[in-house]
């Protein structure tokens, strides 16, 4: 190993600190107050308000390593490079430097710090269209640095445009950097746009200078930003000349543990065995980070909890094919915690919880499987002809977590076929429905820092404090928050249903704070000072960076990124619409301003 994971993280932080960037801690994997996405998917995601022009308490130059989850490529997991969890190394200019600085820095980091051969680097730049001109400037900068002209490729929006993360928000053209693996070109037109495997992406610099509006048009942002992201696991793989991300030091101990528990010699194992080992490694790593997050969630049938459930069940399904047993999955998770405990201490703090949740989900899945098998037996009795209808196969998938290939296999044993087209049709319909749902959610807009959401956000703070006062229980704490322009939704730890009197008392307290028309002020300070000043809020600071503290008269003091109303009087009238259970020990409130 030429560079360990620890060395690579440190090199990144040092390189950018030396160039005036403040290191900031990774944000939670569960975005706060953002109804548009389930997980943090990129380093820029928690920084959207600052890319739009709000001043960041740590200044205009930032760098970090951010925990990210993306499940879009879940079917690809098991190949050399796709993961559902990854770390993203990132640096930002918030209206400060632009292309002239970023391109030479990228070149310097890749060639000097990572030791990559300049002649083996290829880059892409934006070819230009009616929204944004051809980026000859960036191409010229690359050439001046020493990138060979034939290794600079102009590509269109499909390849060289990044964002917005939702339907609206900050975005811009980008320049991507690739390592040429040395494989011959698959055709004379072969370029980094081609997925033949000759070029492997290593870094992306986005020149974020536009906001995409709801009508699809682009308008210039208040400030020109740089947003860069380097996929950590892939960078480790490239720098060390390894064949897959699973051979890097963040994955090897996990893979070894799975081999040990399953007795699989994955080195010379059949392809499907190798794939199963990798799927388990990837999915258990992601699940460990989701459960062990500072805003960790547990398996359920909604939102993040549902993704977690699917990841765990998929890991168990694949694990069963290589002989993993109940209890093995949480043992693998324990290895994940050991690897990351120094970089992400929240995992060590949640070690027991991670074990319990994984073991319990494993047991639940086993019970569902039994019911599913019973359902399948019934189906076989009543099916007409020799084909199991697509809708039945989909029901087994949807309700009992049966993958299609499992249903097909069981059917084959009994001399039945499965209507796969019918299954796929249902599957697509379901997918479109969830897309429709997702699109609804996007309407709130990742960049929706509008007045309505700001007011509801302020109401959330007031309610949080009112809940603490009324319920008078030190365990009452925020567990999740989600705001759309119509309502706020707030999850908090508390062991029982609230009484109607308590609900009313919380409403009264919030309305009292609104009636007082208190001024809302924001100060910047270190996390330690914020805690000393009595501010509530979750913030694991590794670097002693500054945070914003919002004070609402005598009613509330919280660590928070904002934005908020200027005075509490803007909020109108506060009403709790619903108080219900969210999961064990967690209550959920929906409330509106009217």
Binding site for ligand SER (CB under 6 A): 42-44, 90, 162, 204, 206, 227-229
Q: Which is nearer to ligand SER, 204 or 392 (CB)?
A: 204
Q: Choose between 169 and 390: whose C-beta lies nearer to ligand SER.
A: 169
CB-nearer residue toward ligand SER: 203 or 340: 203
- Closer of 42 and 258 to ligand SER (Cβ): 42
Which residue lies nearer to ligand SER by CB, 43 or 292?
43
Instruction: For the CB of residue 175, give the shortest distance to ligand SER in the complex, in Å.
Output: 11
Q: Which is nearer to ligand SER, 173 or 568 (CB)?
A: 173
| CA angle at 323 for the pair 418 and 253, rounded to the nearest 5° | 120
Cα gap 19→403, rounded to integer Å: 50
Mutual orientation of helices 328-340 and 303-321 as an angle, nearest 10°? 110
| Nearest to ligand SER of 24, 44 (CB atom) | 44
Least distance to ligand SER, CB of residue 165, Å = 8
Give the whole-angstrom CA distance, residue 349 versus residue 228: 31
Q: How far is the CB of 61 from ligand SER (least distance, A)?
A: 15
Rounded to a whole number of angstroms, the minimum distance from the CB of residue 397 to ligand SER is: 31
Residues forming a β-bridge with 66:
88
Count CB-CB contacts under 10 A for residue 259. Answer: 18
Is 43 or 444 the residue whose CB approaches ligand SER more closely?
43
User: Count of H helices and E strands in the chain?
Assistant: 18, 18
* 419 within 8 A of 385, measured Cβ to Cβ: no
Nearest distance from C-beta of residue 86 to ligand SER, angstroms: 10
CB neighbour burial string for 132-169, b if at least 16 within 10 angstroms, e if fewer: beebeebbebbeebebeeebbbbbeeebbbbbbbbbbb
Q: Collect all residues with Cβ–Cβ distance below 8 Å to 154 and sequence separation of at least 6.
A: 124, 125, 126, 127, 128, 134, 135, 139
Task: Give min distance, CB of 177 to ligand SER, in A.
Answer: 11
Q: What is the DSSP string of 173-196?
A: EEEEEEEE--PPPSSTT--TT--S
Least distance (Å) between residue 418 CB and ligand SER: 39
Tell me which residue of 347, 359, 272, 264 sits closest to 312, measured CA to CA.
Answer: 359
Nearest to ligand SER by Cβ — which residue?
229
Sequence length of the chain is 594
Query: What's the rounded Cα separation, in Å, for the pair 282 and 85?
Result: 7
* Cβ neighbours around 10 below 10 Å, total: 12
| DSSP assignment string, 237-291 | HHHTT-SSGGGSTTTHHHHHHHHHHHT--GGG--HHHHHHHHHHHHHHHHHHHHH
- Is the distance from CB of 176 to CB of 192 less than 8 angstroms? yes
Task: For the sheet with 488-493, list strands across it.
Answer: 478-483, 488-493, 586-593, 574-583
Which residues, in sequence order, are bridge partners of residue 431?
A: none
Which of 266, 257, 395 minimizes the C-alpha distance to 321? Answer: 266
Residue 228 or 238: the one with the smaller Cβ distance to ligand SER is 228
What residues are paired with 321 via a beta bridge? none
- The residues facing 205 across adjacent strands are 175, 228
For ligand SER, the closer of residues 39 and 162 by Cβ is 162
| Cα Rg of the chain (Å, integer) | 25
Residue 90 CB, nearest distance to ligand SER (Å)? Answer: 5
CB of 162 to ligand SER, least distance (A): 5
CA 566 to chain centre: 31
- Minimum Å distance from CB 99 to ligand SER? 15
Task: Between 43 and 166, name the residue whose CB sits nearer to ligand SER.
Answer: 43
Task: Please say which residue, 158 or 243, places its beta carbon nearer to ligand SER.
Answer: 158
Shortest reach from residue 227's CB to ligand SER, in Å: 5
Least spacing, CB of residue 176 vs ligand SER, in Å:
8
Least spacing, CB of residue 320 vs ligand SER, in Å: 34
Measured from the CB atom, the residue of 48 and 536 that comes closer to ligand SER is: 48
């Amino acid at each position: 190993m030429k560079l360990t994971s620890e060395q690579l993280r440190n090199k990144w932080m040092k390189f950018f600190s030396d160039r005036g960037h403040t290191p900031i801690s990774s944000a939670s994997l569960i975005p706060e107050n953002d109804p548009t996405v389930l997980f943090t998917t990129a380093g820029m995601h928690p920084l959207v308000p600052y890319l739009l022009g709000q001043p960041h308490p740590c200044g205009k130059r930032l760098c970090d390593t951010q925990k990210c989850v993306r499940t879009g490529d879940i079917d690809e997991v098991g190949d050399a490079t796709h993961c559902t969890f990854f770390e993203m190394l990132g640096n930002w200019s918030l209206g400060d430097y632009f292309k002239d600085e970023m391109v030479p820095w990228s070149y310097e980091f890749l060639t000097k710090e990572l030791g990559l051969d300049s002649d083996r680097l290829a880059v892409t730049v934006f070819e230009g269209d009616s929204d944004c001109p051809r980026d000859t400037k960036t191409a010229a900068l690359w050439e001046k640095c020493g990138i060979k002209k034939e290794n600079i490729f102009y590509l269109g929006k499909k390849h060289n445009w990044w964002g917005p993360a939702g339907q609206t928000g900050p975005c811009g053209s980008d320049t991507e950097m690739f390592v040429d693996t040395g494989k011959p070109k698959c055709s004379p037109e072969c370029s980094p746009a081609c997925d033949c495997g000759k070029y492997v992406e290593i870094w992306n610099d986005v020149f974020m200078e536009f906001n995409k509006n709801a009508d699809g048009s682009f308008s210039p942002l208040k400030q020109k930003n740089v947003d860069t992201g380097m996929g950590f696991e892939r960078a480790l793989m490239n720098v060390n000349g390894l064949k897959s991300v699973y051979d890097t030091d963040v994955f090897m101990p996990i893979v070894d543990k799975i081999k040990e528990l399953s007795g699989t010699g994955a080195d010379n194992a059949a392809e499907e065995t190798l794939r199963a080992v990798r799927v388990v490694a990837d999915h258990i790593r992601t699940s460990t980070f989701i459960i062990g997050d500072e805003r960790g969630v547990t398996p359920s049938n909604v939102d993040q909890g549902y993704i977690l459930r699917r990841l765990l069940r998929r890991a168990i399904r694949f694990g069963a094919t290589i002989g993993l047993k109940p209890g093995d999955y949480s043992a693998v998770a324990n290895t994940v915690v050991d690897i990351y405990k120094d970089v992400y201490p929240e995992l060590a703090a949640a070690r027991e919880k991670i074990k319990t949740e994984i073991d319990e989900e494993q047991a639940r899945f086993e019970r569902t499987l039994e019911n599913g098998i019973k359902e399948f037996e019934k189906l076989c009795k009543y099916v007409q002809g020799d084909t199991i209808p697509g809708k039945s196969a989909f029901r087994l998938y949807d309700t009992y977590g049966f993958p299609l290939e499992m249903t097909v296999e069981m059917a084959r044993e009994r001399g039945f076929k499965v209507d796969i087209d019918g299954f796929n049709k249902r599957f697509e319909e379901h997918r479109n429905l969830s897309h429709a749902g997702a699109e609804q959610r996007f309407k709130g807009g990742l960049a929706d820092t509008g007045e309505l959401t700001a007011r509801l956000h302020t109401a959330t703070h007031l309610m949080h404090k009112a809940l603490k006062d009324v319920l008078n229980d030190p365990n009452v704490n925020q567990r999740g928050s989600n705001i759309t322009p119509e309502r706020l939704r707030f999850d908090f730890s508390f062991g029982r249903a609230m009484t109607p009197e308590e609900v009313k008392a919380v409403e009264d307290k919030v309305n009292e704070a609104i009636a007082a028309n208190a001024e809302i002020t924001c100060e910047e300070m270190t996390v330690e000072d914020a805690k000393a000043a009595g501010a509530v809020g979750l913030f694991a600071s590794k670097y002693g960076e500054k945070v914003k503290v919002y004070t609402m008269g005598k009613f509330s003091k919280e660590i928070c990124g904002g934005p908020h109303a200027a005075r509490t009087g803007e909020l109108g009238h506060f009403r709790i619409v619903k108080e219900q259970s969210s999961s064990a020990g967690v209550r959920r409130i929906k409330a509106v301003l009217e």
